[in-house]
Amino acid sequence: MNFVRFRRLPSNPDLPLPGRATPQAAGYDIRSVEKEVVLQPGQIRLVDTGLIMELPEGIECQVRPRSGLALKHGITLPNSPGTIDPDYRGEVRIIMQNTGTAPVVLRRGERVAQLVFARFEALEVVEVDELTDTARGDGGFGSTGSS
């Protein structure tokens, strides 16, 4: 069985580790460790979780917004999905933005993002003079039709 290791920082001796809300959920909810965060309309800020993560080799962690915060308050993650690489050992911090029209208060222990774990391939990058042709060719941005 694969696992992700977490170490708590002194700011987080007690909050639950990231977890899934239901058995079929892809995302693991992660919580704010900060006493109170007030996000003003348009403001972008880092929110601390008080956790450091160790991922298995070949696994990335994607940081994604929570749909409830987005719908109710206009809270999003401007770099979504953010990527945490397996060799990163700093605190997991969430870049949050208030796209709504009113200030939003986030309290300690509130779920602020979700983590989705995914395998990735480390491919070799090579330069070539020619690429293979396809039926689509260089058509993009709607070139395959609207139906």
The range of the structural domain enclosing residue 82 comes to: 5-119
Query: DSSP string covering the chain, please?
Result: ----EEEE-TT-SSSPPSB-SSTT-S-EEEE--SSEEEE-TT-EEEEEEEEEEEPPTTEEEEEE--HHHHHHH-EE-TTPSEEE-TT--SEEEEEEEE-SSS-EEEETT-EEEEEEEEE---PPP---S-----SSTT--SSTT---
What pLDDT shows up at residue 147?
Answer: 62
Is 143 domain-assigned?
A: no
Is 144 domain-assigned?
A: no
Is 17 domain-assigned?
A: yes
pLDDT mean values, one per 10 residues, the chain (147 residues): 91 98 97 97 98 96 96 96 96 98 97 97 95 86 70
Is 134 domain-assigned?
A: no
Q: Domain tally for the chain? A: 1
Question: Where residue 52 sits, what CATH number does that domain have?
Answer: 2.70.40.10
